[in-house]
């Protein structure tokens, strides 16, 4: 038996959702509303972290989607940095933590 690698077979594949986690400093909680309008399949948890040089409150935003719009994500990151007065935002995507 051989695998069918024809284009028709690959077009029938079911795309798996991706998981993206944003750790938003509590001062940028207003950004959560922007995220929920774009990606309704999400959860929000309050948590404590040490990402920015000491203990701080965060909103852990977990998004399930078929992909994240990169221009939109850049705008969310920029707005978060502005509201929380931070130099970076921690994002988990593809099983890796990124500092953006």
Domains of the chain, residue spans: 25-99
- The pLDDT-based confidence of 95 (bands split at 50, 70, 90) is confident
Q: Calculate mean pLDDT across residues 74-99.
A: 94
Q: What is the DSSP letter of 28?
A: G
For 54-85, write each residue's pLDDT tens digit: 999 999 999 998 888 899 999 999 999 999 99
Q: Is the pLDDT of residue 20 over 90?
A: yes
pTM of the model: 0.80
- Return the ∠ at Cα 1 (arms to 6 and 16), rounded to 5°: 50
Q: Mean pLDDT for the chain?
A: 86
Report the pLDDT averaged over residues 76-96: 94
Rounded Cα distance between 22 and 26, Å, is: 12
């Amino acid at each position: 038996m051989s695998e069918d690698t024809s284009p028709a077979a690959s077009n029938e594949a079911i795309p798996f959702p991706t998981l993206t986690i944003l750790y938003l400093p509590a001062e940028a909680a207003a950004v959560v509303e922007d995220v929920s309008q774009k990606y309704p399949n999400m959860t929000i948890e309050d948590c404590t972290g040490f990402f920015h040089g000491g203990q701080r409150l965060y909103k852990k935003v977990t998004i399930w989607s078929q992909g994240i719009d990169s221009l939109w994500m850049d705008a969310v990151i920029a707005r978060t940095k502005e509201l929380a007065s931070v130099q970076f935002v921690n994002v988990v995507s593809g099983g890796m933590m990124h500092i953006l």
